[in-house]
Structures are given as C-alpha cells and as structure tokens.
Structure 1
C-alpha cells in the first residue's frame, strides 16, 4: 500500500532536542537531532515538524497531545513513551524501539513503522488511517476499540495482539505470524488472512477441522 512519505526540506540544520525549551511553545522544526537523551521528562503539546531524529532516546517520557508532522525517527528508543492523544501525520519510524509505547486515543495518518519493536504497545481507542507496520514486532500489542482504515501488517509478529471491539474489515494480516490473537468475532468479517491463519482462527472459534 502506498502512503505519503514525510516531506523534508533539502537542508536541515543540526539542533539539540533541548532547544525545544527555547520557544514559548515547545516546538522544533527544519532540523536534524542526533544522539539526544530526553528520558523521564514530561512535556505537553510538543510540536515537531519537518525534521529527522536519529540515535536518540526518549524512554519513559510523557508527550501527551504531541503533534508530529513530516518527521523521520531512526534508531530511536521510545520505550514506555506516552504519545496519548497524539496527532501523527507523515511520520516514519525505522529501526526504533517502542516497547510499551502508549498511543491511546491518538490519530495516525500516513505513518510507517519499519523493522521496529512495538511489543506491549497500546493503541486503544486510536484512529489509524494509511498506517503500515512492516517487519516489526507487535507481540501482545493492544488495538482495543480502534478505527483501522487502510492499515496493513506486513511480515510482522503479532502473537497475542488484541483487536477486540475493532473492525478488521479490509485489514491485511496475511503475511504476519501469530499463535494466539484476540478478536471480536462479529468484527472479524472481511479481514485478509492466509490459509494457515484461517485454520488457526477457526481453532480459536472452537471449530474442529477434519482432513
């Protein structure tokens, strides 16, 4: 599935993530941040746009209602970060660690997660439109009561994922692997799965398959 990629300026100036405190409103844009450490902080309504962030760590930091537009994160650690009620548009996470990340009630559009770890992440009550999870770990991730539109899971590990109360109509999980999965049966209709997955889901529904 084709999604819009982050729109970045041709030239980016180097900046420190601490520069976010230089303005009255916490914001950074048109810059490249590298090797930043911003752990265990709390800062609301941050606005990041048109920038690249590499090799940085934001563990256990609370960014409620953050606004992310046209941003690339590469090799960053967002373990247990709070992105609740975030607005995330045209953002790419590559080789990132988002273990236990909180995206509850967030709005994500044209967002991609590539080769990243999102085990135990939570997306409860979030809206995802044109979101791609590719070659990523989503073990025991929580997508309870989400709105998923044109969202795909490509070659991911989604074992133990929770899709309860979330419609999976038109959602492609056919190339991903799982042993167990939590779904609301009446909302499973139209989900795109492989033959082996269909057999697995039949077992979860209590069906007995005979050869």
Structure 2
C-alpha cells in the first residue's frame, strides 16, 4: 500500500497503477446509477459540471477544465485528480477518502461540509476559496498549496498538516485546530491568530505569529 508522510500525517494514496487494476475510459462522470467506478476521465473542456448524489470510486481524472462546477453529495473513494481547473467550484456535503488532488485550481471555490479521510492536496491553488465546516476525520495534508485570502470557518482541522504552503492573508476563523501542523510555513501574514489554539509550530515561527497578531489587533508601533 503506497503512502506519503508529511509531519505527523501519513496519507494512504489511491494507488491506481496496480497491475491487476484496469481503468476504463469514460466520456462523462454522470451516471444514471449514481456511481462511476474503475474509470479514467480527462482532457475535457467544459462550460459547467453539475454532479449530485453521486459516487466516484477507483478512478483518475486528468486535465479537466470547467468554468463552473456544482458538486452536492459527491463522494470520492480512491480517486486521483491532476492538472485540472474546477473554476469557481461549489462542493458541499461530501466525503473524500483516499483521494489525491494534485496541481489543480480551485480558486474562489466554496467547500462546505466536506469530510476528509486520507486526503492529500498537492500543489493546488485555493486562492480566495472558502472552507466552511470542513472536517478532517483521518490523515489530511496540504503541501505546496496556495491559500491567498482564503478563509476557514467552523472547520475541524485537528491533526491536519500544512507543508510549504502560501498563507498570505489566510483567515483562520473559529474552529478546531488541535495539533494542526503549521511548521515550515510563513505565518506572518495569516489572520485569526487567536483562534489557532494548540497548533504545532517551530520556535522560529514565534516571530511570525507575533507579527500576524499585531496586524490582527491593528496595533500601531511607534518609536519613543
């Protein structure tokens, strides 16, 4: 079983290159049965993509581009998504298990009520995205991702890992962040420092948090 480790999180990957696994190419992710499995889909340029009450199981999505995506109760299990642009996606009330999302754009996306278990986001752009009531129930890692002016609200990111991410003006609202690993990131421009109780940082980041807190409190520093 293929895994990758970031900080204290070890992610079990979808592992779609097993010799005994055959993925069939499909022309659509929408199935009348509600489930698409053992599939490969990609190189699609769409105006919009709407999926509701659907399951994608054991498959690979590559090079999919859509201006607008609307996902409701879209559950993914053992799925890899790479090199795709989901536009201003709205993704609600869904569960992702053993999912690897790599080099994808979800800029301005609204992610609401997602449950994440064994999920790796790698090299993704979440600038201006909103995360609301997103819960990590198993290992979750964001590595090399951009969260410029993104916002987290009422999320449970306990034990999640952010590694080498861009967190410029990222807003951490009220939520649960116990053991959230923020080591190795520049924290000097984050917002909502007071909400980040019991996170993990390294000693050098104390100055970053102090700078962010001064900005949060709108404190003016003046020489005597």
Interval containing the TM-score (normalised by the shorter chain)? 0.7 to 0.9
| Cα-Cα RMSD | 2.0
2:24 aligns with 13
Please give the residue correspondences for 1:24-63 in structure 2 after superposition, counting only pairs within 5 Å.
24-63=32-71
Cα deviations across residues 9-66 of structure 1 (Å, max 9, x unaligned)? Answer: 6211112126x2xx42333210111202333233311211100011111331111111
Any conservation in 2 of the 1:160–1:178 contact (CA below 8 Å)?
no
1:73 deviation in Å? 0.5
Q: Label 1:42 to 1:98 Cα distance change in 2 as closer, same or farther (>3 A).
A: same
Structure 1: which 5+ residue stretches go unaligned?
Answer: none
1:131 deviation in Å? 1.1
Q: Label 1:63 to 1:38 Cα distance change in 2 as closer, same or farther (>3 A).
A: farther
1:146 aligns with 2:151: no
Q: What CA distance in whole angstroms lies between the structure 2 residues aligned with 1:47 and 1:201? A: 41
Any conservation in 2 of the 1:139–1:157 contact (CA below 8 Å)?
yes
Please give the residue correspondences for 1:44-83 in structure 2 after superposition, counting only pairs within 5 Å.
44-83=52-91
Where 2:67 maps in the other structure, the secondary structure is: coil
1:122 deviation in Å? 1.5
1:165 aligns with 2:165: no
Q: What CA distance in whole angstroms lies between the structure 2 residues aligned with 1:158 and 1:147? A: 18
Higher strand share: 2
Equivalent pairs counted in the alignment come to: 204
1:198 deviation in Å? 1.3
Structure 2: which 5+ residue stretches go unaligned?
Answer: 1-8
**TM-score, normalisation: structure 2:** 0.83
Cα deviations across residues 142-200 of structure 1 (Å, max 9, x unaligned)? Answer: 11110113200000101111111123221111111244212262x42321123343112
**TM-score, normalisation: structure 1:** 0.88
Q: What CA distance in whole angstroms lies between the structure 1 residues aligned with 2:175 and 2:205? A: 18
Q: What CA distance in whole angstroms lies between the structure 2 residues aligned with 1:183 and 1:60? A: 30
Q: Label 1:115 to 1:205 Cα distance change in 2 as closer, same or farther (>3 A).
A: closer
Counterpart pick for 1:181 among 190, 209, 216: 190
Counterpart pick for 2:121 among 106, 113, 116: 113
